[in-house]
Structure 1
Amino acid sequence: MTSTTTLAAALPAEHRARLMRFAREASFASGARLFEEGERADRFWIVRTGTVVLDLSVPGRRPAVIESLGHGELVGWSWHFPPYWWQLGAEALSPVRAWEFDANTVRALCQEDAEFGRAVAAWVGRVAADRLHASRIRLLDLYAPHGSGSRS
């Protein structure tokens, strides 16, 4: 994940402060599932400590790990886009402490304040684009005959 998608880099201080007023502390033991692909996306998290891995269901195989997330990174973007179903799964790779947010509350804040809403939408959009790119590369690495061919 690039530094432009972490909370500190993505949102101006006043928007971060507003968002953090609605944060709740959450923790997950190593191996705990945060959510499953296809379930309702009604919350999201920002990692404080530990590592969360995102995975994608692959029929007849174990889920493919797409990406690892750490400090300051957003876990979950599906809460922001209808129909609000998780597009990936997530699991705590190590013990995780995170800030948890209720999706309905944050979406309501975004509607009340257009500037805040645009900032959150830009952040979540960048995260979704980065995750799509990571998913593509990972799946090509796993299933294409010659890997992803990524030159970066």
Structure 2
Amino acid sequence: MSSDATKHSIEKRIGASQFFSGLRPEFIELLAAHAKPRRLADGEVLFHYGERSDRFYLVERGHVSVEVAAIAGPALELQELGPGAALGWSWIIAPHTWSFQARASTAVELLEFDGNAVVARCEEDP
């Protein structure tokens, strides 16, 4: 698939999502310019607590478990997010590190957005 076809596909996917409903086409284009598809296998970790955060995600298929570290034993699930859910807002707030862990609880397809690039574009053209 060409990069133009990929960008158009991503624009359509963003425009179809409930989370981004109501956005004007130019904002959908801006988001699409800084997004890429990503897949996770069941059990794969998307990000870990304490790592630098500079991305956010839109779950399209499957489920993602939002977890926190336990004092002992496996991580504790706080929430499970499914299709249409947005995840990963730690990149907006200092110190820009993940305050939780996200793990695929099924096979997952999502869009990954470069948060820093989106903010930079918004600051250039408020």
TM-score for the superposition, normalised by structure 1: 0.65
Find the counterpart in structure 2 of residue 81 from structure 1.
93
User: Greater CA deviation, 31-40 or 14-23?
Assistant: 14-23
Find the counterpart in structure 1 of residue 102 from structure 2.
90
Q: How does 1:1-152 map to 2 (within 5 A)?
A: 7-9=19-21, 12-14=23-25, 15-114=27-126
**Higher percent of residues as strand:** 2
Greater RCO between the two (CA within 8 Å, min separation 6)?
A: 2
Change (3 A) 1:110 1:81: farther
C-alpha distance in structure 1 between counterparts of 2:67 and 2:122, whole Å: 28
Shift of 1:83: 1.4
C-alpha distance in structure 2 between counterparts of 1:112 and 1:90, whole Å: 31
Runs of 5+ unmatched residues, structure 1? 1-5, 115-152
User: How many percent identity over aligned positions?
Assistant: 33
Q: Is the 8 A contact 1:7 1:16 kept in 2?
A: no
**Higher percent of residues as helix:** 1
Root mean square deviation, CA, Å: 1.6
Runs of 5+ unmatched residues, structure 2? 1-17
The number of residue pairs the alignment matches comes to: 108
TM-score for the superposition, normalised by structure 2: 0.77
